[in-house]
Chain A
Amino acid sequence: MNDSPTLKKRGETIQVGTELFLRGWTSYSFGATSDSGLTAELITLANQLGTPVASRTGRQLCDKLCPTDAKLAKPNSLSGKYSLGEFPYHSDTAHWLIPCRFVVLACLSPGAANRPTFLLDTQRLPLDEAKRNLLYRAPFRIRNGKNSFFGTILSKSRHFVRCDPGCMIPIDVDAEQALAVFSKERWPSYVEKIVWTKGRVVIIDNWRVLHARGSAKSLDQDRILFRTLVE
């Protein structure tokens, strides 16, 4: 990671870089909590991590994320599939041939239900040989319109995990079992819980750490996160 003026001011550059390298994610609290202050912070941070990239063609570099009813969501999105409920563990942009390297999230409002985000570092999981082989072998159709393609969760020719039940269609029973390897119930002691507070920023190594939105006991469409993707 490059020297960060924003972080350097807080004396946190080294800590952030080290944590990101060692455990695949890091977090800190940013002073500015306005809409424009947070998005500016995200873009600055993203530029220091790599090259910020829009999630879809024509979109801005900073997405505004809030729980969305399936009826209003894009059909192939996680909201389209899981509506206002919890999301499964996934990597962002798994439908790209090379998914984005980092995901940077910032909280504008934790929402009425205080719904958390969960993280799962795939490098820490004690996967046995059978499960690992399944992840290397099981084929998926990865839906991305006319750019759809076939792929697997792991490959020996790349360093990233590709996992998103929203866009990865299992071809066979093996692939269904492969997706279940990262199910929420399977690794309770390896899960990290992010409780959002206004101004909290989380940087996730998207090639290694999967993330999932938690459940909410009440409607929380006032939960607002900003997201920037980094190549």
Chain B
Amino acid sequence: MKSAKNPTLAAEALYTKSQVYIRRGLKAQSNEEAEEYQLWASLALELLGKAGLAKVHPALIADPQHFQSLFAACGRELSTDVRTITAKTVFERLHHIDKDFDKRHADFCMQISLRRNAELHSGESPFTDMAPEAWEREFWGAVETILKMQGKVWNHGWELKTQRHPP
């Protein structure tokens, strides 16, 4: 595997950040802050997916329309501006790393990422009145599959929640 020199595309940095974000989500969960829980979970999920792709090669998450980002993925930094692919592309590509990440996983991941975008970029409040039970099971199922494709197991890194999940 070619190592990225830019943290934007580095698998380890993406994975660790996803771990930090899910811990924030679990903290919100324990405080019964359902909206914050889902927000952090959705952010963590995209980062985890990108880490899975970047572990194969950083070019898999570099924006193909931005040649500077492709060069950065190959270890040549032409610019400090390094861009990545969309969440939709992340979830479409994961299936090609591991067939266990199927259409059901991809559809769920897209849905939660659309809710996240609406939360962050619009006046909508898509997480309101949405109980964790409505998305948690699918979420942790997708997480387990993405972790598995990175050679990671439940009690490694994301272990804080393994007491209760996966269902």
By a beta-carbon cutoff of 8 Å, the part of chain A in contact with chain B is 97-98, 133, 136-137, 139-141, 146-152, 155-158, 171-172
Interface check B32, CB cutoff 8 A: no
Given contacts A152-B16, A156-B151, contact A97 B157 (CB under 8 A): no
Q: Is the CB of B3 within 8 A of A149?
A: no
Specify which of B10, B156, B157 is in contact with A149 (CB 8 Å cutoff): B10
Specify which of B3, B19, B80, B156 is in contact with A139 (CB 8 Å cutoff): B19
B side interface size, CB within 8 A: 21
Q: Which residues of B contact A146 (CB under 8 A)?
A: 80
Q: How far is the CA of A171 from the CA of B19 in the complex (A)?
A: 10
Q: Which residues of B contact A150 (CB under 8 A)?
A: 13, 16-17, 19-20
By a beta-carbon cutoff of 8 Å, the part of chain B in contact with chain A is 1, 3-7, 10-13, 16-17, 19-20, 23, 55, 80, 151, 156-157, 159
9 A–B contacts, CB within 8 A, in A order: A137-B157, A139-B20, A140-B16, A147-B7, A151-B13, A151-B16, A155-B12, A157-B1, A158-B3
Specify which of A133, A139, A148 is in contact with B16 (CB 8 Å cutoff): A139
The secondary structure that dominates the A interface is loop
Q: Measured between C-beta atoms, what is the minimum distance from B81 to chain A in Å?
A: 11
Given contacts A147-B7, A171-B20, contact A137 B159 (CB under 8 A): yes
Q: Is the CB of A97 within 8 A of B7?
A: yes
Q: Which residues of A contact B16 (CB under 8 A)?
A: 139-140, 150-152
